[in-house]
Structure 1
Amino acid sequence: MSFVLPGELVPAQHVNLKLGPGLLQVSDVKNGSVMSTRAGELKHTANNREWWIEGNSRRYVPAPQESVIGVVIARSGEGWRVDIGSAHFASLDGLAFEGATKRSRPNLKVGSVLYARVSLAHKDMEPELECFDAQTRKAEGFGELKGGFLVRCSLQMSRMLLDQSHFLLPLLGARFPLEVAIGLNGRVWVSTKEPKYTIAVSRCIEAVDPDGGGMDERAAKKFLATLDI
């Protein structure tokens, strides 16, 4: 476990390095140096490709290439303004969808829930979103999320759920069918066949969240057994 403070250089290196919240590439210090912009625990994936700072902040700081869940709050010219839980609303162009043209665009309404990718993030600019994979130009699951229920959690919890080795989603999936979309901005979209299952997912996420109950797998199984499912 490694804790860093703002201004510290961190040993983040990879051929295809991807920096998440709390880290900044700085060219004026050393070639390829990475600096911490906030205090917290330095984290990285098993292959060292993705690095980020894990803190206790509940305010999402957009980072390029990250998947987020947003809510449309207004129409803006040829696109929309979207709330992603950051300090500033994000912009989404009407053409930032698979197969979208000037004559054929998604018909999003205020309140529509979206699964999107951050295409531009800069401290002095409004973040920008797109709803397709940058490599394939296909939707790849991005776009409007219809129906379902939006669960809010800590930023740390959303990263935990995206870890394939985490126990919670496989544990729930073994009990009942469900669909989920996880945003790194502390939002989880859940779709199940019955309201009681949706409630169970929401309560389990809250119970396991480090900012909530902080339950481990054993405690979560006992908690799940007390629910009416």
Structure 2
Amino acid sequence: MSSKLILPGEAIPLPSSSKSIILGPGIAASSSRTRTLPSSDDASSSTNPTIIATRLGVLGSSKGKEKSEQIWVEGNSKRYIPAQKDMVLGTIIARHAEGYRVDLGSAQMASLEALAFEGATKRSKPNLKVGTLVYARVSLANRDMEPEIECFDPNTGKSEGFGELKGGLMITCSLQLCRQLLTPKFPLLPTLAASIPFEIAVGLNGRVWFKAGTVSETVTLKRIVEGVDNGEIRAERSAVEQAVKEYLA
């Protein structure tokens, strides 16, 4: 599906090559259905479900496993709206008997159950403090309900990189840059990794966490990512390599 400008309320055709469609931010299922008129060969008519855009932006898509495809509308919104299966970075702001309340930067706080971790049981649960940074996956996102997140992959039962993030530095970026960082063809992270070894977690809620070996390398990563986000540094291999040399000099 090619990227194009989408207006709010505009119907979006479903890709015929995908078995399952995952609706991302800016897209919702329509309550109406489009009717296909009967042809001369078939006297019966058929109806097809439709999806519509809920905001102005550019239509984007990415292929998943087993012919699945995710589609979304990329806009200039500064506030994150939780969407199911999004990877997010959150800060624990409160604890209660059943789990935690987590700030994702959205209009509502998210709920994280104490058992939503790899290997967690009623007798053995993680003990996270207020202020802890966690990397999680949105398991429930509904406009009328508080979002829920989990720190494991439900398909494997393993953490798969989710959970508490210790040390390092978190910065805030635009939602658009965070989605680009998760695109394999985007050159920023591979170029940085060629010069600086680091760990990274990218949240689609506009937050990026990384951990490098030294303070100077961590500051360099911060300045370059923020520079690309605000347009001071071009997201090209040569420009990023030059910025790394200047900041580490």
- Answer yes or no: same fold by TM over 0.5: yes
Deviation sequence 1:32-89 (CA, Å, 0-9, x none): 3111011111111257711111111111110001110100001133110000111111
- Of the three residues 183, 194, 198, the one matched with 2:218 is 198
Q: CA deviation at 1:136?
A: 1.0
Larger Rg: 2
Aligned residue pair count:
228
From 202, 227, 235, give the equivalent of 1:216.
Answer: 235
Give the superposition deviation at 1:100.
0.7
- Contact 1:12 1:51 survives alignment (8 Å): no
Contact (CA 8 Å) 1:69, 1:182: kept in 2 or not?
A: yes
**Paired amino acid for 1:7:** G
Q: Distance in 2 between matches of 1:219 and 1:98?
A: 40
Q: Is the 8 A contact 1:60 1:186 kept in 2?
A: yes
2:130 pairs with one of 84, 97, 110: 110
Shift of the 46–119 alpha-carbon distance from structure 1 to 2, 3 Å rule, reads closer
Aligned residue in 1 for 2:201? 181
What's the offset of the Cα at 1:214?
5.6
Residue ranges of structure 2 left out of the alignment (5+ in a row): 35-47
The structure 2 residue matched to 1:34, chosen from 32, 51, 59, is 51
Deviation of the 1:170 alpha carbon? 1.0
TM-score normalised per structure 2: 0.87
Aligned partner (choices 61, 64, 72) of residue 44 of structure 1: 61
CA distance in 2, matches of 1:58, 1:86: 10
Higher mean alpha-carbon deviation, 21-30 vs 132-141, is at 21-30
Partner in structure 1 of residue 40 of structure 2: none
SS in 2 for 1:163: coil
Contact 1:83–1:89 (CA<8 Å) still a contact in 2? yes
Structure-1 separation of matches of 2:108 and 2:71: 23
Q: Which runs of 4+ in 1 moved over 6 A?
A: none
Which residue in 1 is equivalent to 2:12?
10
Kindly provide the CA deviation profile for residues 176-227 of structure 1, in whole angstroms up to 9, marking residues without a partner as x: 2100011111111101110111111111111111x44362313323222211
Q: Partner of 1:19 in structure 2?
A: 23
Work out the CA distance in 2 between the residues paired with 1:89 and 1:214. 34
Structure 1: 5+ residue stretches without partners: none
Give SS of 1:41's match: strand
What SS class does the counterpart of residue 70 from structure 1 fall into?
Answer: strand
2:134–2:164 Cα contact (<8 Å) kept:
yes
Decide whether the 8 Å contact of 2:192 with 2:241 is kept in 1: no
